[in-house]
Amino acid sequence: MNLSQQAKPVGERVVQRLRQIPISTSILAPLVALILLFVVSSLASEYFLNTRNLTNVMRQVSYTGIIAIGMTFVIIAGGIDLSVGSMVALVGVIVLYVVNAVSDPIQAVILAMLAAVVAGALFGLFNGLLVTRGRIAAFVVTLASMSIFRSLALYFTNAAEVSTRNPFFSDIGGGFFMGLPIPVLVFFGLAIVTHVLLFHTPYGRHVCAVGANPQVARYSGIRVERIVLSTFVIAGVCVGLSAIMLTSRLNSVSPSDAGYFYELDAIAAVVIGGTALSGGRGTVWGTVIGALILGIINNMLNLTGVSPYLQGLVKGGVILLAVLLQYKRTP
């Protein structure tokens, strides 16, 4: 008698505690999908659990993953950013120009990284201002800027690839720290910072409120335009970080190819991660898991040697299944 009476509040308290942890069912489903995929992959290929393979997968994921984190903010606030892929190319071109223009190699690398973040923020500001001040739908604005950014990248380089002989540059994206590739550390570090920003600051709550219902948000005193604008700047900064990692890993940039289809991979990662495409709710951790799921699928298909014609089908199918797993569909 006594025990059960005592146990009840304890149990309730545990459940309450569990509910307070930001891992809700919407994030549990992608996590389950990720674990399943991981188990199946390690059974399917003897090479999958190879340490080098796992670090490869995480590095392959990090470029689009970093962008997907920025995209998460834009989508939660009710927008979309189709320009991120082209922006990677344009920022990448700027990075390589700065690296090649400054004579001191270490200064060159530092200035190039600064330039990438500043340029990304400015391009994000450009998108954001057109959406908020210009009152054009985010889809249309970024569809246009997707074309503009790619075109500028091609124009500045005459469509040729740009590479560098700077001895330190390739150490960023190609380097390791504590056994992990640097792009992976940046990806996870960024995820932690943005998670705190989204869930433990008033700013994060405002982003969700704006996405859920802009009118209500406006009446409750939130400066909706400023919040929307800031999400595009965050996306731009993420693109800047991704461009640094990608171009330094490859020690070059190809204006026609860099970031090609990244916008779709980023949006897919966000959606698989349980963020509503209509805005209002979403998590950074879900996006990280979504990006990892996409990366493992690609890796698996390559390791097992699935017919190249069928890879797209398997990838699309797994994306659909992952999303089916997490939405309770009403009959």
Q: Calculate the alpha carbon distances from 309 to 75, 194, 238, 314 in Å.
A: 32, 38, 32, 10
Binding mask 146-185 for other proteins (x = CB under 8 A): --------x---xxxxxx------x---x-----------
When asked if residue 25 is in the footprint of other proteins (CB under 8 A), the reply is no
Binding piece for other proteins, criterion CB under 8 A, among 131-139, 213-221, 280-288, 303-311? 303-311
The Cα 331–Cα 324 span in angstroms is: 14
Do the Cβ atoms of 178 and 254 come closer than 8 Å?
no
H or E element at residue 197: helix 182-199
When asked if residue 321 is in the footprint of other proteins (CB under 8 A), the reply is yes
Q: Which residue has the tokens 């995929």?
A: 37
Q: Rank residues 61 and 237 by Cβ distance to other proteins and give the closer one.
A: 61
When asked if residue 50 is in the footprint of other proteins (CB under 8 A), the reply is yes
Least CB distance from residue 194 to other proteins, whole Å?
Answer: 23
CB-based burial label for 54 (10 Å; 0-12, 13-18, 19+) = middle
When asked if residue 28 is in the footprint of other proteins (CB under 8 A), the reply is no
CB atoms within 10 A of CB 3: 7
The Cα 105–Cα 73 span in angstroms is: 35
Binding piece for other proteins, criterion CB under 8 A, among 41-49, 210-218, 273-281, 282-290? 41-49
Least CB distance from residue 46 to other proteins, whole Å?
Answer: 6
Do the Cβ atoms of 44 and 304 come closer than 8 Å?
yes
Determine which residue in the list 241, 246, 270, 294 makes contact with other proteins, applying CB under 8 A: 246
Q: Calculate the alpha carbon distances from 213 to 78, 155, 217, 233, 323 in Å.
A: 9, 41, 6, 21, 24
Binding mask 282-301 for other proteins (x = CB under 8 A): ----------------xxxx
Determine which residue in the list 22, 28, 36, 38 makes contact with other proteins, applying CB under 8 A: 36
Determine which residue in the list 10, 308, 330, 331 makes contact with other proteins, applying CB under 8 A: 308
Q: What's CA 158's distance to the chain center, in Å?
A: 29
Helical pair 311-326 and 262-272, crossing angle rounded to 10 deg? 30
Least CB distance from residue 263 to other proteins, whole Å?
Answer: 13
When asked if residue 42 is in the footprint of other proteins (CB under 8 A), the reply is no
Binding mask 57-96 for other proteins (x = CB under 8 A): ---x--x---------------------------------
DSSP strand pairing (162-163 vs 176-177): unpaired
> How many residues are given for the chain?
331
Least CB distance from residue 214 to other proteins, whole Å?
Answer: 35
Least CB distance from residue 325 to other proteins, whole Å?
Answer: 6
Q: In sequence order, which residues have a C-beta less than 8 Å from that of residue 264 and are 6 or more positions away?
A: 85
When asked if residue 47 is in the footprint of other proteins (CB under 8 A), the reply is yes
What is the contact surface with other proteins in residues (CB under 8 A)?
33, 36-37, 40-41, 43-47, 50, 52-53, 56, 60, 63, 154, 158-163, 170, 174, 246, 249-254, 256-261, 298-306, 308-311, 314, 317-318, 321-322, 324-325
